[in-house]
Structure 1
Amino acid sequence: MRILIVGAGAIGGYFGGRMLQAGRDVTFLVRAGRAQELNRDGLIVRSALGNIDYPAPPHVASQALGGRYDLILLSCKAYDLDAAMESFAAAVGPDTLILPLLNGMAHLDRLEARFSRANVLGGQCLISLDRDASGAIVHLNDTNLLSFGELDGQSSARIQRVAEALSGAGFEASLSADILQDMWEKWCFIATGAGITGSMRASIGDVLVAGGEGLVVKLLAECAAVAAKANHPVRPQVYERFVKMLTTPGSKMTASMLRDVERGAAIEVEQVLGDLVKRRDAAGLAPNDLSVLDFAYTQLKAYEARRLRG
């Protein structure tokens, strides 16, 4: 299977690097600056599950894309989706499968509109990654799950080929029979984590020390109510696991959105929180008083406004 990884940042670089190590036919689609880094330093990943030092990984610029690919792994930030779609459009044929690992859900409709529903799979990953000052990708936890599936939940011949390509590649590859449910549940979790740690500028543990457990639990409940209205209620055992993870005393958990705020970078506030607000209001769930979701969204939008003004 000919695989194109759109971007060689934290997520694309990690999963693409694992696949390269496993002998898969992988090429990274990168901009000029990242191409220079890969040529100079190679692909570097630091992980408790095994480091990667891959010299001169295969990469290509958008204007030099040659032919169609079988699978496109899309790992850009959600706010870069339009530019990313334009960059890899030449690689998409009628049988090309696009596996997005973006936050939120709105990207599915946009990918279908730009290409076709037949081209698009569902996907999500559970992993914490960042890049350090040297440009190396740093794996921050001990999970590296990538789950994927057909949007209708069917077990097709083509999704089985994707499963074969991703399995045994140094990470946990899981073919899901209900990937949309998985994506909604992850969205609720990351919206809670990003909303709390991003707006409070603190780890979960620090928020709990400050007496914020009630805010954490309320935000998760608000997010879960939107998912339930969309016919994807968070499963009870999953909800209990989320509550435990988000209310563990001493937890150092922070969302990538907080790390982006701390470095003064762009954030996915619209895709992670804003879209939940819009769906909540459209479903008639808007509260009479200010909600935790509203507060977190407004606080992070204010950061974004100040950043753009500055």
Structure 2
Amino acid sequence: MRILVVGAGAVGGYFGARLVQAGRDVDFLVRPARAALLREHGLVLRTIAGETERIPVRAVTVSELAPEYDVVLLAVKSYGLEGAVDDLAGAVGPRTVVVPFLNGMRHLGVLTDRFGEERVYGGVSMVMTRLGASGEIVEVGRMGELIYGPLGDAPVVEPDLVHKALDGAGFTARTAQDIRQEMWDKWVFLASLGAVTCLMRAPIGRVNRAPGGPEFSAGMFAEAMAVATASGFPPSERIRTLADRIINDTERDTSTSMYWDLTHDNPVEGEHIVGDLVARGRALGVPTPLFSLAHTHLSVYSAGREA
């Protein structure tokens, strides 16, 4: 199975590197400047244990693509989605599936409109990594899991073949029976944690130690649950238990990559993670006053960066 990883950032770079180390046939689609660096230095991974790994990888650019891949792993930030879809189109052949690992749900429509439902899977990634200043991938916690599954009943590449391509590479890989439910579960949790920490500009423990903090955090999660339930995907018991433990926590400095980006003057995925939840709530008649406030806050921040 030939695998193309679109993006060599904190998510795609991490899982792609592990697949390479497991002996899989992997190319990385990147920009020319990044390709030159990867060809010379490989992917650099700094582990949570403080070790530095250098993994030789094959980097390709758009002009070098051919429709010869079986699986395309799409791991870019949501604000780069449209450009990435245009770039990877040349890799999609009659027996290719695109497996995206973006947060939220809006990207599924973009991908199915472009490639057809039979060539698109849903996907969830769970990993604690960041991209360092020199392009290295930095582990900040011990977590690595990919969850995936077809959107329709007749994918051009069967789930067992996709699973065989991704399994046994040093991280957990599993096929979901209902990938949309898995995606909604992660979205509800991530959007709530991200909206709370970004709006309050503090990790969740500090927020919940403040007067009114626990009620604010619980209210944010309740809004997300209400939108998910009205959309036909009520959060699972597993994600509600996780939220009870993390979103109500008063001790740990837990946050999200969106909070990291916000506090380091980086672009944020406010529209895809928070704005889309607000829009769906509005369309379904579900009030989301706290999420709407967080969306406004993130929008003002983004406008300031672009000014």
TM-score normalised per structure 2: 0.95
2:133 corresponds to: 133
The one-letter code of the counterpart of 2:298 is L
Once the two structures are TM-superposed, the CA of residue 249 in structure 1 deviates from its matched residue by: 2.0
**CA drift at 1:49:** 7.6
The equivalent of 1:179 in structure 2 is: 179
Letter in 1 for 2:285: G
Q: Which amino acid aligns with 1:190?
A: L
Letter in 1 for 2:195: G
Q: Report the alpha carbon displacement of residue 67 of structure 1 after superposing the two structures with TM.
A: 3.5
- The residue type paired with residue 134 of structure 1 is S
Q: Tell me: CA distance 1:181–1:299, structure 2 relative to 1, closer, same or farther (3 Å).
A: same
1:80-112, CA deviations, whole angstroms, 9 ceiling, x for partnerless residues?
Answer: 111001101011012211000011101001101
1:70/1:95 contact within 8 Å kept: yes
- Answer yes or no: is the 8 Å Cα contact 1:153–1:177 preserved in 2: no
1:137-216 alignment, distance < 5 Å = 137-152=137-152, 158-211=158-211, 212-216=213-217
Q: Which residue of 1 aligns with 2:60?
A: 60
Structure 2 letter corresponding to 1:11: V
Partner of 1:17: 17
Q: Secondary structure at the match of 2:28?
A: strand
- Report the counterpart of residue 239 of structure 1 in structure 2: 240
Instruction: Give the residue type in structure 2 aligned to 1:302.
Output: V
Give the SS at the match of 2:18.
helix
User: Is the counterpart of residue 277 in structure 1 residue 275 in structure 2?
Assistant: no
Q: 1:154 deviation in Å?
A: 8.5
Which runs of 5 or more structure 1 residues have no equivalent in the other structure? none
State the Cα distance separating 1:42 from its structure 2 match.
1.6
Which residue does the alignment assign to 1:26?
Answer: 26
Unaligned runs of 5+ in 2: none
Match of 1:298 among 286, 292, 296: 296
Aligned CA RMSD, in angstroms, stands at: 1.9
Q: Residue in 1 aligned with 2:102?
A: 102
Q: Conserved in 2, the CA contact under 8 Å of 1:122 and 1:179?
A: yes
Distance, in Å, in 2 between the alignment partners of 1:148 and 1:107 is 15
Q: For residue 263 of structure 1, report the CA deviation from its aligned partner.
A: 2.1
| 1:228 Cα deviation after fit | 0.4
Q: For the structure 1 residues 22 and 35, does the alpha-carbon distance in structure 2 shift closer, same or farther, using more than 3 Å as the test?
A: same
Deviating more after overlay: 43-52 vs 262-271: 43-52
Which region of structure 1 is more displaced relative to structure 2, 193-202 or 4-13? 193-202
After TM superposition, the score normalised by the length of structure 1 is 0.94
> How many residues in Structure 1 have an aligned counterpart in Structure 2?
306
Using the alignment, how far apart are the partners of 1:127 and 1:225 within structure 2? 26
Deviates most, 75-84 or 47-56: 47-56
Report Cα offsets for 1:188-225 as digits up to 9, x if no partner: 01101110111211111111122311111111110111
**Residue 99 of structure 1 aligns to a residue in which SS?**
strand
Greater than 4 Å deviation, 4+ residue runs: 49-52, 152-157
| Equivalent AA in structure 1 for residue 219 of structure 2 | K
The separation in 1 between residues aligned to 2:260 and 2:32, in whole angstroms, is 25
Contact 1:149 1:178 in 2 (8 A): yes
Tell me the secondary structure at the aligned position of residue 127 of structure 1: strand
Residue 254 of structure 1 corresponds to 255
Verify the 8 A CA contact 2:47 2:138 in the aligned structure 1. Answer: yes
1:263 aligns with 2:237: no
What secondary structure is seen at the aligned counterpart in 2 of 1:170? coil
